[in-house]
Amino acid sequence: MFGKQAAPAADQSSSTDGSRTITREQLINLLNEDLAREYQAIIAYVVYSQVIKGAAYMNIADQLEQHAKQELQHALMISRQIDYLGGSPTTTPKPVKTSDKAEDMLRFDLENENETVRNYRERVRQAEALGEYALAETIREILLNEQDHQIDLATALGVDVPDVTSPQERV
Ligand SMILES: [Fe+2]
Ligand SMILES: [Fe+2]
């Protein structure tokens, strides 16, 4: 694999912030990964919101139910963008972890939201590098929502909202 590296494609270049511009095809594939994460989130929130037990978790259970509805909206928004770009929206979710402990469920949700936020921040940069400004705008809108989800979960767990900033964003 090493030593047989193909020359970079003509449409891949380095942008001013050092991040590599991806192709439209790669963007479609990455959006399908995002869509699979949205499906995962829908399933997790549908199930967790109904099975989470205990007086201490009643408030967060209601919030999880709201998250489920918002994740469905995100899935629709991402699917629309994939279709617009000429791709086929995936039908397969990322795997959903299960546990009978409320705290585990909330932790799984928070970890997934962190991963989602990290990916969408990257996607905004990639979409803008390709001149797909409407897509970047759509993802920014979703990102706001995902950050709210992080706050809800971190608050319920009694932890700080994790810093998911990638190293290149800290400069
Ligand atoms: Fe989402
Ligand atoms: Fe979310």
Give residue 146 CA to ligand 2 midpoint distance, Å.
4
Give residue 100 CA to ligand 2 midpoint distance, Å.
21
Residue 145, burial from CB neighbour count under 10 angstroms (0-12, 13-18, 19+): middle
Residue 9 pLDDT class (50, 70, 90 cuts)? very low
Give residue 11 CA to ligand 1 midpoint distance, Å.
30
Listed residues: CB within 5 A of ion ligand 2: 146, 149
Residues 6+ apart with CB under 8 A from 6: none
| Rounded Cα–Cα distance for residues 18 and 43 (Å) | 36
The one-letter code for the residue type at 48 is Y
Q: What is the mean pLDDT of the chain?
A: 89
Give residue 131 CA to ligand 1 midpoint distance, Å.
23
Give residue 98 CA to ligand 2 midpoint distance, Å.
17
Residues linked to residue 14 through DSSP beta bridges, in sequence order = 20
Ligand nearest the Cα of residue 110 is: 2
Give residue 113 CA to ligand 1 midpoint distance, Å.
8
Give residue 108 CA to ligand 1 midpoint distance, Å.
14
Residue 21 pLDDT class (50, 70, 90 cuts)? confident
Give residue 83 CA to ligand 2 midpoint distance, Å.
22
Mean pLDDT, rounded, for 64-93: 98
Mean pLDDT, rounded, for 80-104: 97
Listed residues: CB within 5 A of ion ligand 1: 38, 71, 74
Residue range 109-148, pLDDT digits in tens: 999 999 999 999 999 999 999 999 999 999 999 999 999 9
Residue 8 pLDDT class (50, 70, 90 cuts)? very low
Residues 6+ apart with CB under 8 A from 157: 103, 106, 107, 110
Ranges 98-107, 109-118, 125-134, 159-168: which has the least confidence: 159-168
